[in-house]
Amino acid sequence: MKLFKTTLVSVLLGGTLFASPFFYTNIDDEFSKFDRYFDSMFNAHFSKHFAPKMEFYNNKENYTVEFEVQGIEKSDLKLSLEEDNILKLEGEKKNPKKDAKGKTNEKYFGSFTRMIQLPDDADSSKITTEHKNGILTVTIGKKERKDKKTTVIEIK
């Protein structure tokens, strides 16, 4: 499965991976992070497991992530910032009518985990959240980016 994901990513994204916020200098860490992100995205869109859809916005001052959490109580959600700048949303969408007889169910219910790799300049000390009208909005401030310095190394 890992080879399939790596091949699929290479084919679909081509050279655009370098322009994305998911690119890092250590290629092993990059593939590990992208693998976790891809698993989360794949499960959210193609599996029978429930995971909330999301949108990611980038502007000058901050990053904003909006999770679609309609029908999920605030108390059933857990948001954390994991190692390597990974924003992790865990929760459970409960089925209030699970014992009803004669029903057809097309809604997804159950526990979920959704992870998003934040860019390097995301400031973990500047995070705010709002849960309103079925949308969980997470706003993350940005740190000032330091210009990366190139050092020329003499070849002997």
Give the number of other Cβ atoms within 10 Å of residue 122's Cβ: 19
Angle among Cα 154, 15, 54 to the nearest 5 degrees reads: 125
pLDDT tens per residue, the chain (156 residues)?
Answer: 444 444 444 444 443 333 344 444 455 566 666 666 666 665 555 545 667 889 999 999 999 999 999 988 999 999 999 988 899 999 988 877 766 666 666 667 788 899 999 998 999 899 999 999 999 999 999 988 777 778 888 898
Residue 88 lies in a domain: yes
Q: What is the pLDDT of residue 141?
A: 95
**Residue of 56, 77, 44 lying closest to 138 (CA atoms):** 56
Residue 148 lies in a domain: no
Residue 48 lies in a domain: yes
Domain enclosing residue 83, as ranges: 2-142
Residue 75 lies in a domain: yes
| Cα–Cα distance measured from residue 90 to residue 79, given in angstroms and rounded to the nearest whole number | 6
DSSP string, 19-81: GSTT--S-HHHHHHHHHHHHHHHHHHHHSSS----EEEEE-SSEEEEEEE-TT--GGGEEEEE
Residue 147 lies in a domain: no
Q: What is the CATH number of the domain that holds 96?
A: 2.60.40.790
Q: What is the pLDDT of residue 16?
A: 35
Q: What is the pLDDT of residue 93?
A: 85
| Cα–Cα distance measured from residue 98 to residue 109, given in angstroms and rounded to the nearest whole number | 10
Residue 24 lies in a domain: yes
Per the structure block, which two tokens stand in for 124?
């973990």
Residue 57 lies in a domain: yes
Q: What is the pLDDT of residue 10?
A: 44
| Cα–Cα distance measured from residue 141 to residue 139, given in angstroms and rounded to the nearest whole number | 7
Q: What is the pLDDT of residue 23?
A: 44
When divided into structural domains, the chain yields a total of 1
Residue 151 lies in a domain: no
